[in-house]
Structure 1
Amino acid sequence: MPKVTVRYWAAAKAAAGTAEEPYHADTLAEALAEVRVRHPGELARVLRRCSFLVDGDPVGTREHETVRLAEGGTVEVLPPFAGG
């Protein structure tokens, strides 16, 4: 099972209480399930509104179960940003 780094930004970082942490997961869905187990409170709620990059590529509308993770890869957790 690949070891990946999950990086949190903005509200996700505040809810996780850390900027990044390692996980072992084959897919984005598995990684996010582990994140929810480790952080069942506010971060689990924030994740519902987030978008994700895997190794720099936007996940978009792809099913998270189909997004494979590679050894040494990075998952970026991006909450919605205010703008205008």
Structure 2
Amino acid sequence: MLIKNPKPAYRKWIKRGALTLFVVEAGCFIGSYFVWHKINTERDSRKYLLDNYPQVLDLYYKTGEIIDKNNKLREIDAAYWSTNQN
């Protein structure tokens, strides 16, 4: 007859922790993608960032300029906002 050895309890906690970490990481990735998509496609979102979090908007523009040297989104937004001030 085979003797069954129970698995140590810490293995169960390690598996649960790894699964939780994976789910949290996937959720953060999906959330950050939706935030990036909103900022990338909506000028009003960028205006909100300019008014409330200018450092974040500057980081967004710098990242775009590093990826694509011909990215002129900063100048386009500045021109649009300067002509449409209320």
TM superposition score normalised by structure 1: 0.29
TM superposition score normalised by structure 2: 0.28
Higher RCO (C-alpha 8 Å, min separation 6)? 1
* Structure (1 or 2) with the larger CA radius of gyration: 2
Structure (1/2) with the larger strand percentage: 1
